[in-house]
Amino acid sequence: MSFGFLELFVLLFLVFLVLGPKRIPGLLKALGRGVRDFTAEFSKEREKELPGKDDDERRRDP
């Protein structure tokens, strides 16, 4: 199931009508914080799994 341009436009218009122009910036700000926190946590987990450049150099040098 995919959304076309018209469906996406109608959905955004309904959200705008329900929430109003004053609450949308706060909602988008909270959404942005959530995405930033998620990506930061994902990056931390990935760094733990993959050895960094410093780790490789330490293993090679006795």
Are 41 and 34 in contact by the 8 Å Cβ rule? The answer is no
Label residue 33 by pLDDT band (50, 70, 90): very high
Mean pLDDT across 6-30: 91
Say what the pTM is: 0.52
Across 8-34, b (16+ Cβ under 10 Å) vs e yields eeeeeeeeeeeeeeeeeeeeeeeeeee
Are 16 and 24 in contact by the 8 Å Cβ rule? The answer is yes
